[in-house]
């Protein structure tokens, strides 16, 4: 997570132009790299890979297609992240966890971020269209549009923003499936459902942890307006409970077998338990535990899914 630090702004330092390139360049590169939110977008790339893996048949050998899919997706996701920070740069100055980001701290000019964001979004979409297929490129464009033009402005207008934001976050595995098969069958939508419902307790936990910061920034996340956290806790539990049957749909669709079924059910019950604990106690420490469990739960679930598919030879 970002922290506030009183770093000097090279743009207003009298001797900034005299600094050697070896000193200035790494800082600038690091700032532009930070704008792409590499840690967050690592999950985007991984879930795209999972969708691709679950779609391919035994004996698949076109790994260049997978590489093109992941690279194009990474470019598009990076562009969306830059555009998000460009739009929110003024509000980020108000929050402690974001005040030292490159844009609010003044280390990157807004026009630079805008150009980088447009370039990455365009490059990613065109790359997917040219080297993967049109369906994957369209899904990438949809992800960018919903993240930048719907979720980002809605964060300051309605508590439903988290629900809207879960849509672009759940599309990447569909992009992987579309890249491998040029289609979106029920199996691809099952992966979408898993990511969608998982995100809700995950991001509500984050919103509880940073509710004061979000309030300073003017963001209407549910925990900000839900003073007693009653509705927040209820939604955590409802989405975690709904996630259990959703994670079992791959079994019904014959994507995986009984090993995944038992594992998914056990992990889902544990995730639900932590959600219920957070809802009942309404403490930051319990929200932190729910957040930590959520980031263990998802890769564990997807890992079991892929292993079970490999063992079954599906």
91 CB-contact burial (10 Å; exposed 0-12 / middle 13-18 / buried 19+)? middle
Domain ranges, residue 154: 1-184
Are residue 179 and residue 38 in the same domain, yes or no? yes
- Contact yes or no for 97/1 (Cβ under 8 A): yes
At CB < 8 A and 24+ separation, what contacts does 155-160 make? 155/88, 155/219, 155/220, 155/221, 156/91, 156/218, 156/219, 156/220, 157/220, 158/220, 159/220, 159/221, 159/222, 159/225, 159/226
Residue 25 confidence class, pLDDT cut points 50, 70, 90: very low
Q: Give me the pLDDT at residue 4, please.
A: 28
Mean pLDDT computed over 78-100:
95
Are residue 194 and residue 254 in the same domain, yes or no? yes
Are residue 27 and residue 159 in the same domain, yes or no? yes
Q: Give me the pLDDT at residue 112, please.
A: 97
Are residue 257 and residue 281 in the same domain, yes or no? yes
Q: Give me the pLDDT at residue 141, please.
A: 98
d(CA 235, CA 241): 10
**Higher model confidence: residue 35 or residue 20?**
35
Are residue 163 and residue 26 in the same domain, yes or no? yes
d(CA 193, CA 166): 10
257 token code pair:
């077998």
Residue 279 confidence class, pLDDT cut points 50, 70, 90: very high
* Domain of residue 43, CATH code: 1.10.357.140
Domain count of the chain?
2
Are residue 87 and residue 172 in the same domain, yes or no? yes
End position of a domain, from candidates 184, 215, 239: 184
Are residue 153 and residue 292 in the same domain, yes or no? no
d(CA 163, CA 200): 7
Are residue 135 and residue 277 in the same domain, yes or no? no
C-alpha atoms less than 13 angstroms from C-alpha of 91 in its C-beta half-sphere: 17
Are residue 113 and residue 93 in the same domain, yes or no? yes
pLDDT digits (tens, 9 = 90+) for 185-211: 999 999 999 999 999 999 999 999 999
pLDDT surpassing 80 at residue 72: yes
Q: Give me the pLDDT at residue 11, please.
A: 29
Share of the chain above pLDDT 90, in %: 86
Are residue 279 and residue 293 in the same domain, yes or no? yes
Are residue 90 and residue 148 in the same domain, yes or no? yes
Per DSSP, helices labelled H in 146-220 are 152-154, 161-170, 172-181, 186-209, 211-217
d(CA 314, CA 299): 20
End position of a domain, from candidates 184, 200, 218: 184
pLDDT surpassing 80 at residue 18: no
Q: Give me the pLDDT at residue 313, please.
A: 65
Q: Which helix (H) or strand (E) holds 109?
A: none
* Domain of residue 259, CATH code: 1.20.120
Are residue 57 and residue 101 in the same domain, yes or no? yes
pLDDT surpassing 80 at residue 23: no
At CB < 8 A and 24+ separation, what contacts does 243-248 make? 243/194, 243/197, 243/198, 243/201, 243/268, 243/271, 243/272, 244/268, 244/269, 244/272, 246/190, 246/193, 246/194, 246/197, 247/194, 247/301
pLDDT surpassing 80 at residue 3: no
Q: How many angstroms separate the Cα of 187 from the Cα of each of 15, 51, 162, 184?
A: 59, 9, 24, 8
End position of a domain, from candidates 152, 184, 216: 184
Instruction: For helices 134-145 and 161-170, give the axis angle rounded to 10 degrees.
Output: 160
pLDDT digits (tens, 9 = 90+) for 205-234: 999 999 999 999 999 999 999 999 999 999
């Amino acid at each position: 997570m970002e922290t506030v630090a009183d770093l000097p702004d090279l743009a207003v330092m009298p001797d900034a132009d005299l600094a050697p390139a070896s000193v200035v360049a790494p800082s600038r590169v690091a700032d532009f790299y930070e704008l792409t939110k590499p840690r967050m977008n690592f999950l985007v790339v991984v879930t795209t890979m999972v969708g691709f893996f679950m779609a391919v048949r035994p004996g698949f050998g076109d790994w260049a297609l997978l590489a093109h899919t992941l690279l194009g997706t990474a470019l598009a996701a990076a562009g969306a992240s830059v555009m998000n920070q460009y739009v929110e740069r003024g509000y980020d100055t108000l929050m402690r966890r974001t005040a030292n980001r490159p844009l609010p701290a003044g280390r990157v000019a807004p026009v630079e971020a805008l150009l980088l964001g447009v370039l990455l979004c365009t490059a990613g979409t065109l790359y997917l269209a040219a080297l993967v297929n049109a369906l994957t490129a369209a899904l990438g464009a949809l992800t960018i549009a919903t993240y930048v033009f719907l979720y980002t402005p809605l964060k300051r207008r309605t508590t439903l923003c988290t629900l809207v934001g879960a849509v672009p976050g759940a599309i990447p595995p569909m992009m992987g499936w579309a890249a491998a098969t040029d289609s979106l069958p029920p199996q691809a939508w099952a992966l979408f459902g898993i990511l969608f419902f998982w995100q809700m307790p995950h991001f509500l936990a984050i919103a509880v942890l940073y509710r004061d910061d979000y309030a300073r920034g003017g963001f209407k996340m549910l925990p900000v307006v839900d003073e007693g956290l009653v509705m927040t806790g209820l939604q955590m539990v409802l989405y975690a409970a709904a996630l259990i049957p959703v994670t079992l749909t791959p079994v019904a669709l014959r994507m995986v077998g009984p090993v995944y079924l038992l594992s998914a059910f056990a992990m889902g019950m544990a995730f639900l338990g932590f959600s219920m604990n957070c809802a009942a106690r309404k403490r930051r420490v319990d929200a932190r535990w729910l957040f930590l469990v959520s980031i263990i739960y998802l890769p564990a679930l997807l890992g079991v899914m892929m292993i079970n598919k490999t063992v079954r030879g599906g």
